[in-house]
């Protein structure tokens, strides 16, 4: 039975480790200026935990195999050093990993979440509401109109609650259902929720942030590759949570200008 | 029990005096109701908790099958489901909100009514008083109430399946404002959500009563010679778990009350102003959704340690008995339990890295989160080190302990990723998290329950379980759970979002085949549990009669009859001379162990 | 014998007189009320609906889908205004055939469904995505149900007269109405703004016109036997 256990654990360990190592299912390519920091952190953690995973499981398998006969005549052996090597290993190996990962990781974290956006960023106001995202661009006047929840009128596409009748700055605001951004240009988003908690997640951008009802949360990114990506909701928000998404289109600068013009004239 | 001063009671004098004063704590019960229903006997109450957990785990498992079938084949009609919920499953096809209801109830039932009851209230109630040498828990009436309060909570939760608008859909985490605003937020958020909060609030009361009992019993009712240092490791684990529980449930209870008030009394603890749902401006303002998260996770993180620490204790009790070797580093082990208990209160914000809190808090919370891996690593290495050089006896109980170590390694290591905010940025809300917590809770904690069952069943029911069925149960489950939960990490790395009723997004469609594999594995592993049920029910009636100490283990429960008499020790008061770790020694009568109450002096270790 | 003949002849003559009299005066005839609905002022711009988040619906539309809350026709006509008899109706037969309400291409078809009190409404999901129907009723019972693709139609009734906005929780642009009315004499203005309510026995009626954005107007009109009075409505449009 000891051999069986050792064999099963070994097979499970090696097959799992191989699938991880071969990236059979893996992150999509990163398209963000800050994404490589996260990827590097992930790969280092994967390597370290991979080694610990294989070592611990194989050690377990080995010891079970070797002691798996209840032979009462065999002398018992205590692990050399007793508990001290265990404590030492945990503190040294795990502790070192912890220190390194925390220090390096906090720099990556800070670069994304604790650094203000570039002053010249394209500003986009994002509203999440059951079960769609809408994106607001300031329009030619460069100013966002005021929004009020009591003015929201979804049947007439007024998702943000703008008041164009009385607020001239609101009249040229462009509201779209797609997040259109120019490539290689910093973008600053302000996230707010119309109703309950939602989240902003674009795997390729390595970016995720909850929308919190009652507050406006700022995030920023710079996309480095053109293409069409998906923004999906990762915060349970009701029955349509699985269907809550928008497309993110990263386009060239001229395409972006054209898109703005097309939308302005609607 | 009038003596309020708690001192290390090295010679049991205080206990003898107290016992002399209270001649009969409670005599053997008469009458059907007192004996079988409202029993004050901790052994009956422990079995009642375990039976409740059995019903709960069956319900929770069936819910998971429904979920997995729907994820793999969303249009699949499930015969009969439309009778249970005509709105949620018209024609037997699960609607999006019903999927979320099944998911919410699955998580709630499993975490609260299985993982918090069975390993802690179930086994702890039965075994702890005997292990400390007492006749019963310190407060038998509170104990009886704690079970019935828990049972009431379960009934209230199940009732929500039958309300018109369906059970709650906001997940076991019930984030506000979704859980707080009421039915404008959609189906599944009306009476069902309120019943959820009421049920959990009632559950908290039951747990608080239970925690009080465990703490008082462990500190005050130890028999002569049972110093804290000589406590069995399972008792240590239950004791620390009960301390954690006392603090954690004390926070969840008011949180649920505030949630109920927001839902029915028009308050706005968790609801800010200006929310528009169902085209209506909600009549609330001034509240904070993040406040709910703080209150919930301040409970929620310690809760997962409440779910796993008894398993640590159970494994540390069973492994020495099966390896015939002392646990490596017992004092270090207990230190790790204390460290984990202490640190568990400092990490709750790691569930909230992306919640909109100041990002600096993420860095602060990640430090203790990563540090807590150190005592967890130490305990894992101590178990592996105990197996080294041992004479391992393969029984179903020991197999589940070995399985526990393996899955705990897997689940613990995946936590490493999530503990770092920068990586959590990518993995939060994905199946990586689902794989991680199922390994540590859904598997490791369950394996601890299985190990405890196979180990203590002879003591509890006086009969042995069937080893053949047990081994098949272990092997098929062990392979099965890896097939279910390891792939979830791969899905998470690919960005597969969790809590989705269907995978309709472009980038998730290619992952459906892997989901189908997981579903098949889950249904298979679920079917395998039949072996366990059959074994349990058959063995209760027809199992081989169990001797007093079938495993040749050292702690005091193995000195009692199988099952123990009403007052456990038949009127005698055991005197403890040794700790629980005396295995692999040249004992009297040719034994390789020395029991805790054996008067022999400790021989030189072989 | 002679007397009997005279009595029969008199009876026959009397019957003939009565009959021809009846033929010349046949009793009250049904009339109708018709007219045109127009607007003054500036109409709001209908907006393009972007269904990007639901490609299976977006693909069903070859030309841009517009909002439908205020649709103008030629000569300042206002389309889709619900015109109905709100008072004076001498009794409409209860309607038993179901009104069909489709969710197609992520839109409600028709945008406004005319329904009688207690008339069955059958709601179909013709799309590949789940929809969720939420009639925001105030006097009727409010309910909220999902319909996965391929699900059987929902069969619902409403017991009270009410203009009920309907929304889909999953697709925020999907909005429509159930116009639940006490009468079978109801119609919607056509592309040229014209409407006609037929089969009205003589009497005094109140005709009401309802527009989802511009409000409600009523006029009283008397219909004589066989009359066809004209009633026109003019709504004030605002650009926002």
Q: Tell whether A70 lies on the interface with B, counting CB pairs under 8 A.
A: yes
Q: Is residue C10 part of a domain?
A: no
Which residues, including other chains, have CB under 8 Å from residue B331's CB and lie 6 or more apart?
Answer: B229
pLDDT in tens, B268-289: 999 999 999 999 999 999 999 9
Are B217 and B140 part of one and the same domain? yes
**SS3 for B437-449, per residue?**
HHHHHHHHHHHHH
Q: Tell whether B184 lies on the interface with C, counting CB pairs under 8 A.
A: no
Whether C53 and A132 lie within 8 Å, measured CB to CB: yes
**Does residue C212 contact residue C110 with C-beta atoms inside 8 Å?**
no
Average pLDDT over every residue of B543-566: 95
Q: Tell whether C15 lies on the interface with B, counting CB pairs under 8 A.
A: no
Is the pLDDT confidence value at B292 over 70? yes
Tell which wins on pLDDT, B19 or B246.
Answer: B246
pLDDT in tens, A35-85: 999 999 999 999 999 999 999 999 999 999 998 776 777 788 888 988 999
pLDDT in tens, A166-196: 999 999 999 999 999 999 999 999 999 999 9
* Integer angstrom CA distances of residue C211 from A248, B511, B601, C137, C187: 37, 48, 97, 17, 12
Tell which wins on pLDDT, A245 or C16.
Answer: A245
The whole domain housing B68 covers 38-276+283-287
Are B558 and B594 part of one and the same domain? yes
Q: Is residue B412 part of a domain?
A: yes
Q: Is the dihedral of CA B433, B248, B170, A160 positive or negative?
A: negative
Is the pLDDT confidence value at B10 over 80? no
Contacts of C173 in chain A (CB under 8 A): 154-155, 157
| CATH class, A122-264 region | mainly beta
Contacts of A129 in chain C (CB under 8 A): 172
State how far the Cα of B331 lies from the Cα of B352, in Å rounded to an integer: 34
Is the pLDDT confidence value at B1 over 80? no
Whether B402 and A64 lie within 8 Å, measured CB to CB: yes
Min Cα separation B492/chain C (Å):
23
CA atoms within 13 A on the CB side of B268: 14
The whole domain housing C115 covers 30-237
Q: Tell whether A158 lies on the interface with B, counting CB pairs under 8 A.
A: no
Are B496 and B604 part of one and the same domain? no
H helical segments located in chain A:
2-21, 35-67, 84-89, 95-113, 168-171, 253-264
Q: For chain C, which ranges sit under pLDDT 70?
A: 1-4, 7-8, 10-26
Minimal Cβ distance to A9: which of B378, B406, B489: B406
Which residues, including other chains, have CB under 8 Å from residue C96's CB and lie 6 or more apart?
Answer: C119, C120
Question: If you write DSSP's letter for every residue of B100-115 in order, what string do you get?
Answer: HHHHHHHHHIIIIIIT
State how far the Cα of B369 lies from the Cα of B346, in Å rounded to an integer: 8
Contacts of B184 in chain C (CB under 8 A): none
Is the pLDDT confidence value at B606 over 60? no
For chain C, what is the domain count?
Answer: 1
Chain B residue with CA closest to C129: the answer is B504
The pLDDT value given to residue B19: 52
| CATH code, domain with C221 | 2.60.40.420
For chain B, what is the domain count?
Answer: 3
Contacts of A30 in chain B (CB under 8 A): none
Interface mutation vs chain B, best among A24, A117, A210, A231, most B CBs within 10 Å: A210
State how far the Cα of B486 lies from the Cα of C226, in Å rounded to an integer: 80
Are B457 and B355 part of one and the same domain? yes
Are B54 and B147 part of one and the same domain? yes
State how far the Cα of B175 lies from the Cα of B292, in Å rounded to an integer: 7
Q: Is residue B5 part of a domain?
A: no
Domain boundary among B533, B555, B574: B533
Contacts of B356 in chain A (CB under 8 A): 209-212, 215, 217
pLDDT band, very low/low/confident/very high, at B5 (cuts 50, 70, 90): very low
The pLDDT value given to residue B578: 94
pLDDT in tens, B69-126: 999 999 999 998 988 888 888 889 999 999 999 999 999 999 999 999 999 999 999 9
Determine how many CB atoms are found less than 10 A away from the CB of residue B512: 16
The pLDDT value given to residue B14: 53
The pLDDT value given to residue B249: 97
Short-list A216, A195, A175, CA closest to A129:
A195
The pLDDT value given to residue B248: 97
Are B450 and B483 part of one and the same domain? yes
Chain C residue with CA closest to A153: the answer is C173
Are B350 and B396 part of one and the same domain? yes
Q: Is residue C173 part of a domain?
A: yes
Are B235 and B168 part of one and the same domain? yes
Mean per-residue pLDDT of chain B? 93
Min Cα separation A122/chain B (Å):
22
Domain boundary among B512, B533, B554: B533
Interface mutation vs chain C, best among A173, A174, A177, most C CBs within 10 Å: A177
Strand pairing category for C121-125 and C99-104: parallel
The tokens for A154 are: 């979804």
Q: What is the length of chain A? A: 266
**Does residue A185 contact residue A118 with C-beta atoms inside 8 Å?**
no
State how far the Cα of B203 lies from the Cα of A139, in Å rounded to an integer: 54
Q: Is the dihedral of CA B405, B406, B407, B408 positive or negative?
A: positive
Chain A residue with CA closest to C44: the answer is A156
Minimal Cβ distance to C69: which of A133, A155, A178: A155
Contacts of B406 in chain A (CB under 8 A): 9, 12, 57, 60
Contacts of A105 in chain B (CB under 8 A): 366, 420-423
Q: Is residue C6 part of a domain?
A: no
Q: Is the dihedral of CA B473, B479, B480, B486 positive or negative?
A: positive
Strands (E), B526-585: none
Q: Which residue has the tokens 């506000």?
A: B176
Q: Is residue B293 part of a domain?
A: no
Average pLDDT over every residue of A209-230: 97
The tokens for A123 are: 């500003």
Chains adjacent to A (≥3 CB pairs closer than 8 angstroms): B, C
Mean per-residue pLDDT of chain A? 93
Contacts of C175 in chain A (CB under 8 A): 154-155
Chain A residue with CA closest to C166: the answer is A155
Min Cα separation B199/chain A (Å):
21
């Amino acid at each position: 039975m000891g051999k069986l256990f050792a064999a099963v654990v070994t097979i499970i360990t090696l097959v799992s480790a191989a699938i991880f190592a071969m990236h059979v299912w893996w992150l999509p390519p990163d398209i963000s200026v800050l994404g490589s920091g996260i990827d590097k952190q992930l790969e280092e953690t994967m390597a370290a935990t991979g080694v610990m995973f294989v070592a611990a499981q194989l050690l377990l398998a080995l010891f079970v195999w070797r002691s798996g006969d209840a032979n009462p005549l065999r002398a018992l052996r205590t692990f050399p050093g007793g508990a001290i090597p265990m404590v030492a290993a945990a503190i040294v190996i795990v502790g070192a990993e912890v220190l390194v990962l925390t220090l390096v990781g906090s720099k990556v974290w800070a670069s994304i979440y604790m650094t203000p956006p570039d002053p010249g960023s394209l500003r986009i106001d994002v509203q999440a509401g059951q079960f769609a995202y809408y994106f607001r661009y300031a329009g030619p006047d460069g100013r966002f109109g005021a929004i009020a929840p009591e003015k929201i009128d979804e049947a007439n596409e007024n998702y943000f609650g703008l008041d164009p009748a009385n607020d001239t700055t609101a009249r040229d605001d462009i509201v779209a259902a797609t997040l259109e951004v120019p490539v290689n240009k910093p973008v600053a988003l302000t996230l707010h929720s119309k109703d309950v908690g939602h989240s902003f997640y674009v795997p390729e951008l390595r970016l995720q942030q909850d929308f919190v009802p009652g507050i406006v949360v700022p995030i920023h990114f710079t996309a480095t590759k053109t293409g069409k990506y998906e923004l999906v909701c990762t915060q349970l928000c009701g029955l349509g949570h699985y269907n809550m998404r928008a497309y993110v289109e990263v386009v060239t600068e001229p395409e972006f200008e054209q898109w703005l013009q097309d939308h302005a004239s609607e | 029990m009038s003596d309020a001063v708690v001192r290390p009671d090295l010679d049991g004098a205080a206990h003898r005096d107290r016992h002399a004063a209270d001649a009969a704590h409670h005599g053997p019960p008469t009458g059907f109701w007192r004996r079988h229903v409202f029993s004050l006997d901790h052994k009956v109450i422990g079995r009642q908790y375990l039976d409740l957990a059995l019903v709960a785990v069956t319900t929770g498992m069936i819910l998971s099958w429904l979920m997995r079938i729907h994820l793999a084949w969303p249009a699949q009609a499930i015969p009969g489901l439309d009778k249970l919920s005509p709105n949620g499953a018209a024609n037997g096809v699960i609607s999006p909100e019903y999927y979320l209801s099944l998911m919410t109830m699955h998580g709630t039932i499993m975490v609260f009514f299985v993982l918090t009851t069975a390993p802690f209230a179930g086994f702890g109630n039965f075994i702890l008083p005997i292990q400390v040498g007492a006749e019963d828990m310190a407060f038998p009436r509170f104990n009886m109430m704690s079970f019935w309060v828990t049972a009431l909570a379960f009934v209230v939760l199940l009732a929500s399946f039958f309300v018109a608008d369906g059970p709650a859909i906001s997940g076991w985490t019930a984030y506000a404002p979704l859980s707080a605003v009421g039915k404008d937020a959609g189906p599944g958020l009306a009476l069902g959500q309120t019943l959820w909060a009421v049920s959990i609030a009632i559950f908290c009361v039951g747990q608080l009563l239970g925690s009080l009992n465990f703490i008082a019993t462990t500190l005050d009712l130890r028999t002569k010679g049972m110093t804290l240092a000589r406590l069995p490791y399972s008792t240590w684990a239950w004791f620390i778990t009960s301390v954690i529980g006392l603090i954690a449930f004390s926070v969840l209870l008011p949180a649920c009350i505030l949630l109920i008030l927001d839902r029915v009394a028009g308050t706005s603890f968790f609801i800010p102003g200006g929310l528009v749902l169902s085209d209506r401006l909600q009549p609330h303002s001034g509240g904070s959704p993040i406040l709910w998260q703080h209150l919930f996770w301040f409970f929620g993180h310690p809760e997962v340690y409440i779910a796993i620490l008894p398993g640590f204790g159970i494994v540390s009790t069973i492994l020495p008995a099966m390896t015939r070797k002392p646990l490596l580093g017992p004092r270090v082990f207990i230190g790790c339990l204390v460290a984990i208990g202490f640190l568990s209160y400092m990490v709750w914000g790691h569930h909230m890295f992306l919640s909109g809190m100041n990002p600096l808090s993420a860095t602060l919370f990640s430090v203790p989160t990563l540090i807590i891996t150190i005592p967890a690593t130490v305990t894992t290495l101590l178990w592996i080190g105990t197996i080294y050089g041992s004479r391992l006896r393969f029984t179903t109980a020991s197999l589940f302990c070995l399985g526990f170590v393996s899955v705990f390694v897997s689940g613990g290591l995946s936590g490493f990723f999530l503990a770092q905010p920068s990586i959590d940025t990518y993995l939060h809300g994905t199946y990586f998290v689902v794989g991680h917590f199922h390994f540590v809770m859904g598997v490791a904690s369950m394996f601890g329950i299985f190990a405890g069952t196979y180990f203590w069943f002879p003591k509890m029911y006086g009969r042995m379980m069937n080893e053949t069925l047990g081994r098949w149960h272990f092997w098929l489950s062990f392979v099965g759970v890896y097939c279910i939960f390891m792939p979830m990490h791969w899905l998470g790395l690919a960005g597969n979002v969790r809590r989705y009723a269907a995978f309709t997004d472009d980038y998730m469609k290619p992952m459906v085949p892997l989901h189908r594999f997981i579903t098949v594995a889950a249904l298979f592993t679920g079917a395998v549990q039949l072996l366990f049920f059959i074994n349990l029910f058959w063995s209760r009636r027809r199992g081989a009669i169990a001797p007093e100490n079938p495993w040749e283990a050292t702690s005091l429960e193995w000195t009692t009859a199988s099952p123990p008499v009403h007052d456990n020790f038949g009127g005698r008061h055991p005197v403890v001379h040794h700790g629980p770790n005396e295995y692999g020694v040249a004992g009297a009568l040719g034994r390789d162990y020395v029991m805790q109450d054996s008067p022999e002096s400790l021989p030189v270790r072989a | 014998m002679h007397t009997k003949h005279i009595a029969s002849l008199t009876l026959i003559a009397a019957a003939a007189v009565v009959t021809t009299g009846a033929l010349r005066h046949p009793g009250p005839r049904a009339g109708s009320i018709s007219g045109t609905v127009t607007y003054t002022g500036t109409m709001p711009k209908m907006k393009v609906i972007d269904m990007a988040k639901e490609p299976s619906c977006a693909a069903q539309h070859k030309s841009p889908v517009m909002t439908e809350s205020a649709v103008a026709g030629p000569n300042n006509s206002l389309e889709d205004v619900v015109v109905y008899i709100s008072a004076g109706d001498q009794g409409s037969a209860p309607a038993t055939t179901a009104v069909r309400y489709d969710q197609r291409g992520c839109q409600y078809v028709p945008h406004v469904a005319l329904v009688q009190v207690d008339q069955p409404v059958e709601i179909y999901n013709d799309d590949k995505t789940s929809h969720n129907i939420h009639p925001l009723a105030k006097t009727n019972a409010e309910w909220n149900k999902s319909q996965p693709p391929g699900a059987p139609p929902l069969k619902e009734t409403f017991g009270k007269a009410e203009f009920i906005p309907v929304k889909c929780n999953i697709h925020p642009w999907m909005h429509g109405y159930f116009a639940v009315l006490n009468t079978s004499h109801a119609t919607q203005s056509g592309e040229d703004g014209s409407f006609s309510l037929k089969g009205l026995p003589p009497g005094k009626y109140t005709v009401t016109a309802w527009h989802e954005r511009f409000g409600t107007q009523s006029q009283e009109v008397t219909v004589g036997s066989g009359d066809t009075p004209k009633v026109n409505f003019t709504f004030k449009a605002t650009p926002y």
